[in-house]
């Protein structure tokens, strides 16, 4: 089995690759690639990203990978991570910029002046460990407790037009969508590669996943 980690010059690519390789107990060939043809030939695709969404979208287009990503999401198990997940939406307030348009909705900035339950001001970006509350049963949640903590670094969050896309939520301070998915696509706002045991378990689940739910 071939698993492509998409390399378009943005994100913790080597950290994502190493995390996948660390839990590869099925003998998969996991590799970095910037070649659209290699992405299309792969059996599974991991699509990471980090930084500003306009920059990521520009690099994706310059590498000729946008169409390969769209095609890959049609049938094979697909895992978007952080900005790689945000890029799946139609548009983002960051820029503003157009995304890949695979999910209806946009990526919105956290509002200014956020405060927690004690009235303390919350910083943007939302950075650090936070709980993830599962809204449905999914193969990638196997072995991961509801309310488990994952590591976030982001100023923008998913705002899906279809509530059914939200697989899990977090709070900052209101609930927001932090995992979205449909069919063979699974995408997380947090960084699995920085989320220690829980992140490794989610990646291990992805490697074993056949894309069905």
| Catalytic residue ranges | 82, 191, 193
| SS3 readout for the chain | CEEEEECCCCCCHHHHHHHHHHCCCCCCEEEEECCHHHHHHCCEEEECCCCCHHHHHHHHHHCCCHHHHHHHCCCCCEEEECHHHHCCEEEECCCCEECCCCEEEEEEECCCCCECCCCCECCCCEEEEEECEECCCCHHHCCCCCCCEEEEEECEEEEECCHHHEEEEEECCCEEEEEEEECCEEEECCEHHHCHHHHHHHHHHHHHCCCCC
Contacts of 200 (CB under 8 A, 6+ apart): 19, 22, 23, 192
């Amino acid at each position: 089995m071939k698993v492509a980690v998409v390399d378009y010059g943005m994100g913790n690519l080597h950290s994502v690759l190493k995390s996948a390789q660390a839990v590869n107990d099925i003998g998969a060939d996991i590799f970095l690639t910037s070649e659209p043809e290699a992405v299309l030939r792969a059996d599974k695709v991991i699509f990471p990203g980090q930084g500003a969404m306009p920059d990521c979208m520009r690099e994706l287009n310059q590498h000729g990978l946008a169409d390969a990503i769209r095609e890959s999401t049609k049938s094979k198990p697909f895992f978007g991570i952080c900005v790689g997940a945000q890029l799946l939406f139609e548009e983002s307030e960051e820029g503003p910029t157009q995304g890949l348009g695979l999910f209806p909705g946009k990526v919105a900035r956290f509002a200014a002046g956020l405060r927690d339950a004690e009235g303390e001001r919350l910083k943007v970006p939302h950075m650090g460990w936070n709980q993830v509350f599962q809204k449905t049963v999914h193969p990638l949640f196997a072995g991961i407790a509801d309310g488990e903590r994952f590591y976030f670094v982001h100023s923008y969050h998913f705002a899906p037009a279809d509530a059914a896309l939200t697989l899990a939520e977090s709070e900052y301070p209101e609930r927001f969508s932090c995992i979205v998915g449909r069919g063979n696509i699974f995408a997380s706002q947090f960084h699995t590669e920085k989320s220690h045991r829980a992140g490794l378990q989610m990646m291990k689940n992805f490697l074993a996943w056949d894309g069905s739910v």
